[in-house]
Amino acid sequence: MKKILKKLTALLRIGGPFFLGCLLSLRVFSAWADTTLDFDQLYGKYSVTGLQFGEKVRALSGKTVIIRGFMAPPLKAESQFFVLTKTPMAVCPFCSSDADWPEDILVVYLKKRQTFVQYNAIIEVRGKLEYGSRIDPDTGFVSQLRLRDAEFSPL
């Protein structure tokens, strides 16, 4: 990274305004990149005695973020929310008596109710990030991380 920066500064010295334009567009790009969230960034600390939200989650709270994951089958086929998991799950905790959700999940509340379709692939979700414990009033499902006003698209 340092090397790249050095090169960029060197180029700027030589190239003047053209490269300044390039640098600006790079800044725009990095601002966009900052709103992407990764499943590994959801929690900063995993401990047997409790977890901590990741720094990026705190920083992006209330902002629109983009995250890629797998849509777990919802409770009802037509639903306003679904659970986004890092990878597909072999068993469905909504349906199985002995399966639990992993910690690193996001509950996605869609802008509008949508019928569940199994894309059988990773999807990209965009929505407003919210963290902290919340119980879904309709289903009683407890979530720690949510995306509000969300939209998703298959990749």
Partner 1 sequence: MKYRYLTPLFLAALPLSGLAQQVIYPIDRATMVEGGKFDFKVEFDQEIQPEQATILINGKDFKQVLNGKVEFIAREDGKPVSALWVRDSHIKHAGDYRVTVSLNGKQDEVTWNIYATPKTRKAHNVILFIGDGLSVAHRTGARILSKGVTEGKANGKLAIDSLPHMGFIGTSSTDSIATDSANTMSAYMTGHKSAVNALGVYASRSENNFNHPKQETLAELLKRRTKMSIGIVSDAEIQDATPAAVVSHTRRRAEKAAITEMLFSVNPDVILGGGSAYFLPQSTLGSKRKDDKNFIDIFRQDGYELVTNATELKSLEMKKNRKLLGLFHTGNMNSVLDRRFLSNEETKKFPDQPDLTDMTKTALDILSKNPEGFFLVVESALIDKAAHSLDWERSMASTIMLDQSVEIAKKFAESHPDTLILVTGDHTHGISIIGTVDDEKAGEDMREKVGVYQYAGWPNYQDNNADGYPDKWDVSKRLAVFFASFPDHYETFRPKLNKQFVPAVKNESNQYVANEEYKTVAGAMQRIGNLPRNTDTGVHAVDDMVIQAQGPGSEQIHGYMENSDLFKVIVNALAVK
Task: Give the Cβ contact number of residue 136 at 10 Å.
Answer: 15
Query: Binding partner 1 by CB under 8 A: which of 115, 137, 153, 155?
Result: 115
The structure tokens listed for 119 are 């894309």
Q: Does 153 bind partner 1 (CB under 8 A)?
A: no
Q: Does 144 bind partner 1 (CB under 8 A)?
A: yes
Q: Does 53 bind partner 1 (CB under 8 A)?
A: yes
Would you say 26 or 91 has its CB closer to partner 1? 91
Residues 6+ positions from 63 with CB-CB distance below 8 Å: 35, 128, 129
Q: Does 89 bind partner 1 (CB under 8 A)?
A: yes
Would you say 19 or 141 has its CB closer to partner 1? 141
Q: Find, among 152, 101, 153, 108, the residue nearest to 130 by Cα.
A: 108
Query: CA 155, CA 118: separation in Å to the nearest integer?
Result: 13
Rg, Å, the chain Cα set: 19
Would you say 59 or 121 has its CB closer to partner 1? 121
Would you say 20 or 59 has its CB closer to partner 1? 59
Bin 142: left if φ > 0, else alpha if -120 < ψ < 50, else beta. Answer: beta
Q: Does 9 bind partner 1 (CB under 8 A)?
A: no
Q: How many residues are present in the chain?
A: 155
- List binders of partner 1 among 13-52 (CB under 8 A): 40, 43, 46-52
Would you say 5 or 98 has its CB closer to partner 1? 98
Query: CA 146, CA 128: separation in Å to the nearest integer?
Result: 8
Interacting residues toward partner 1 by CB under 8 A: 40, 43, 46-53, 70, 73, 77, 87-92, 95-98, 100, 102-103, 115-118, 120-121, 133, 142, 144
